[in-house]
Structure 1
């Protein structure tokens, strides 16, 4: 499998459901529309244009990146100031890797359709174990108490950070309508930011209700030197306050932006 063909089929299969729910069912009470903003670019750094970015997270002065594709997936440490790759290790088993998140001295990394999550030792970047996960893995973040996983649908799934046991979940909606294609995630101050595949949209989600309370239209980033052959926006790493690093699959640039 190359690029995002399999994900496209999964996402496209959900469209009729989303359209029917949103367009054909009257709502007893109007839902206020989530505001839409554009990112404000603060600065930019280099990003490996060969990286099929699946996960992005800053912790302890290190920018961690997970890359995908079967047989080519890696877990990487980057310099957040320059984008330079400090260390890179191959994901075991030839898995098609997906989202990542840091939990203490560990890093969890999802796989797409292999049915496992890989737990890494953060200091040595060596695998500790593999744990079974039901369903597809797309994005992953840690809110300080639980792992939150996306699987390409409109549902966020909650997991125990110790062993990946599923402990709950919530369905995500924007203006009362399901939001499918939830992809790379970032947990910040009790909220979840998510790339919406295969678009240039980022949404901010209240994980208690599943409601989207902010929408980011990042389509303008393509005009800043992103080649047409690059793939979708995918990668959100919180820096501080309202500032984030964002990038995409095969993007040559990482942007530091203000959101909200």
Structure 2
């Protein structure tokens, strides 16, 4: 025969646990909400704008203070170009094979690195004259590419960045991007500035600032006011290049007719004594 006192105690314990569940669930929800504080949206100043051809399917953009490099995508129409003035004709242009779709690019040392979309191929060129230096290979898709000065940082359309060896393109580490309550997938073109990775998001009007150590999104910049107003689905923000001398970011998009130099307010921008360009508040 079962111990009646034991049964009573067990019943009371189970009842207490059931009564505690709602409060536990509520406290968990409160904790989750506190952990998902919204990512701050940053204002910016518009420093300059430049007209440019509106037939560029911009995938990558880089500026070293004197020269520009840009990659433009689509099968059968992809190219890599160097400019001294992005509003003029290129100094050099390399057309890719018809079955190669150009994606993001960056420049590190004396090399230009160019991703391809689905071919799993990284193309490497000499910085001085864009002579081909070879290829490296990777699994999956290529989207955006930048460098922190020591390693390459790549996006592939997910919420994960990969840090890669500039000689072999082997993965050194992977970093999942997170922040607030959003899922930060579709990370696209990348730039490295003031110790943060700045990223376009495909089909999104914002660029995001990512901590390269933790993966946390530190802030967003909304480019909606700069968009050309086209309803075509391909006309989206894409292309970020750091202008160190003027302490700003050049931004543009696919089939955009202009480049814009903006200075985000915060996260390292506007703190240099050389940041003397006249600001036009957003």
Q: TM-score range by the shorter chain?
A: 0.7 to 0.9
Aligned partner of 1:190 in structure 2 is: 195
Are the aligned partners of 2:75 and 2:98 in contact in 1 as well (CA < 8 Å)? Answer: no
Unaligned runs of 5+ in 1: 1-23
2-structure distance, mates of 1:249, 1:183? 12
Are the aligned partners of 1:45 and 1:255 in contact in 2 as well (CA < 8 Å)? Answer: yes
Aligned partner of 2:72 in structure 1 is: 67
1-structure distance, mates of 2:177, 2:82? 31
2-structure distance, mates of 1:25, 1:65? 46
Q: How many residues align?
A: 235
Report the 3-state secondary structure (helix = DSSP H, G, I; strand = E; otherwise coil) of the residue aligned with 1:174: coil
Aligned partner of 2:174 in structure 1 is: 169
Aligned partner of 1:54 in structure 2 is: 59
Are the aligned partners of 1:195 and 1:202 in contact in 2 as well (CA < 8 Å)? Answer: yes
Aligned partner of 1:15 in structure 2 is: none
Aligned partner of 2:84 in structure 1 is: 79
Q: CA 1:227–1:119 in structure 2 vs 1: closer, same or farther (change >3 Å)? A: same
Aligned partner (choices 232, 236, 242) of residue 232 of structure 1: 236
Are the aligned partners of 2:51 and 2:258 in contact in 1 as well (CA < 8 Å)? Answer: yes
Which residues of 2 match residues 174-253 of structure 1 at below 5 A?
A: 174-222=179-227, 225-229=228-232, 231-240=235-244, 242-253=247-258
Greater alpha carbon shift after TM alignment, 37-46 vs 78-87: 78-87
Report the 3-state secondary structure (helix = DSSP H, G, I; strand = E; otherwise coil) of the residue aligned with 2:74: coil
Aligned partner of 2:130 in structure 1 is: 125
* Aligned-pair Cα RMSD in Å: 2.1
Aligned partner of 1:34 in structure 2 is: 39
Greater alpha carbon shift after TM alignment, 168-177 vs 84-93: 84-93
Q: How far apart are residue 41 of structure 1 and its match? A: 1.7
Report the 3-state secondary structure (helix = DSSP H, G, I; strand = E; otherwise coil) of the residue aligned with 1:134: coil
Q: Which has the higher strand share?
A: 1
Deviations for 1:66-108, whole angstroms, at most 9, x for unmatched residues?
A: 1111121111112347454222111246310100000111100
Higher CA-based Rg? 2
2-structure distance, mates of 1:48, 1:169? 36
2-structure distance, mates of 1:245, 1:180? 23
Are the aligned partners of 2:65 and 2:243 in contact in 1 as well (CA < 8 Å)? Answer: no
For normalisation by structure 2, the TM-score amounts to 0.78
